[in-house]
Amino acid sequence: MSASTKLSNSVKALCYLAEAYPNARNSNQISNRVGVNASKLRKLLSLLSQSGIVASNKGVSGGFYLTKKTKEINLQQIYCAIEDRKVFHLDVNSKNGEYKGETEFYNTYFLKLFADIQIDIEKKMEKVSLKSLMDDIENQNIK
């Protein structure tokens, strides 16, 4: 599953949990609402749980629920919970050969450029709370 798909599915699941709050929802309920395989969804929810964004109850009436207010959860937190790599990932390999110095220059240049872009992306994602996202969806009548 790509990073953007994982983020999108996680956000949809969290929005559903926010709507259901304070009631917990099990992975099958969330899966049906989000349209994602329940086992894939459980993996995402487990990662979100490890980061303290959601928690779960066991048992017949158990399920997942939010541990924070929607205004306290932002896209950057969600992304960091489900991914182990940067949003803007660049894989540059140094090659030996005739153009080694030139390749190293370009690699250094692009690594710096993409590091700056990464910082911009992270700052933007920190500004988008789950609440603001849900408000935008509601205002646009998207469901």
Q: How confident is the model at residue 1 (pLDDT cuts 50, 70, 90)?
A: low
**34-48, 67-81, 86-100, 120-134: the lowest-pLDDT one:** 86-100
pLDDT digits (tens, 9 = 90+) for 45-84: 999 999 999 999 988 778 999 999 999 999 999 999 998 7
* Residues 111-115, mean pLDDT to the nearest whole number: 85
The pTM is what?
Answer: 0.79
Contacts of 11 (CB under 8 A, 6+ apart): 75, 78, 130, 133
Lookup: tokens for 109: 């240049």
DSSP-assigned letter for residue 25: B
pLDDT at 115: 84
